[in-house]
Structure 1
Amino acid sequence: MSLPTYGEVYAKAAEGSPFSNSTEGDAWITNNCQRCIHDKPARNDDYENACPILGVAYCGKTPAEWMRKEGFRLGDQYTCLFFRDENDGGPDEPTPVPDPPGQLTLCPREPFERPGRMFADTKPQEVSVRG
């Protein structure tokens, strides 16, 4: 799953800041963005290749790629669908858990595997109400 562009993130983002104040924002960015591989270029002063999701949040919109948590604590309000820890040595794309060696399978796994994480567009949609 490749990182979306700034324009794609901005188009789906909800109006309004994701954080109520700078303390909330700093806590969340420190816990997540400051250790994410996608924002590493910004930490190296390469802002052209910085994380577009965080860029949209800095513009005062809430990215759809950040899923809000219920009953959160400071610095843990959202789950970013594209978060990857810098120290994660895994591949760029999610891979299925391999079958244990010597294990027989009842049916093939390939038709039931998805290439990446599932994501539902959370942008509000207009509906008509009949009364």
Structure 2
Amino acid sequence: MTFPTYEEAEPRAVEGSPFSNCADGEAWMDNNCRRCVHDAPTRRGEWDKGCPLVLIALLGQTPAEWLRKDGYRLGDQYTCLYYRNEDDGPGPQEPAPIPDPPGQLTLCPREPFERPARMFADTLPQEVAVHA
């Protein structure tokens, strides 16, 4: 999953502003964009190299790469599929399989069941309802 350019992301965007007002947008960008490696050039004053998803939002459309969350909390209404904190280190790392313990016999080979792709998973705790 490569980071899209403006020309790739703009046709997928949904009409309508992602934020109801300026405070709403500023809170979300403070929590996400202002810590993301993709918008770091904007913070250095290189306006033409900033995140194209932010530009789409500022032009009044909602990027398809921003997934709306259930409920509403100021600054936490979307999940950006491309968010990566500047402190996360260099580039995305491919997940490594958990090694078999030494001396352990395996019942079946692992290779056919391992996937090379990564899946997006929301890491925030979620409430689960229990039915008796």
Q: 1:40 is matched with which residue? A: 40
1:75 and 2:75 aligned? yes
Q: 1:123 is matched with which residue? A: none
Q: 2:53 is matched with which residue? A: 53
Q: 1:113 is matched with which residue? A: 115
Q: Whole-Å Cα distance in 1 between the matches of residues 7 and 119 of structure 2?
A: 21
Larger Rg: 2
Pairing of 1:1-131 with structure 2 (within 5 A): 1-89=1-89, 91-100=90-99, 102=101, 106-109=108-111, 112-117=114-119
> Where does structure 2 lack aligned partners over 5 or more consecutive residues?
121-132
> Where does structure 1 lack aligned partners over 5 or more consecutive residues?
119-131
Distance 1:114 1:57, change over 3 A: farther
Q: TM-score w.r.t. structure 2 length?
A: 0.78
Contact 2:65-2:82 within 8 A present in 1 as well = yes
Cα-to-partner distance string for 1:20-64 (whole Å, 9 max, x where unaligned): 101110000000000000000000011221111111111100000
- The amino acid that maps onto 2:73 is R
The two structures, once aligned, show a CA RMSD in angstroms of 2.0
Contact 1:25-1:75 within 8 A present in 2 as well = yes
Cα-to-partner distance string for 1:61-103 (whole Å, 9 max, x where unaligned): 00000000001310000000000000002x5234124313526
Percentage of pairs with the same residue: 47
Q: 1:122 is matched with which residue? A: none
Please give the secondary structure, in 2, of the residue aligned with 1:30. helix
Q: Whole-Å Cα distance in 1 between the matches of residues 109 and 25 of structure 2?
A: 47
Q: 2:127 is matched with which residue? A: none
Q: TM-score w.r.t. structure 1 length?
A: 0.79
Please give the secondary structure, in 1, of the residue aligned with 2:87. coil
Contact 2:38-2:51 within 8 A present in 1 as well = yes
- The amino acid that maps onto 1:115 is A
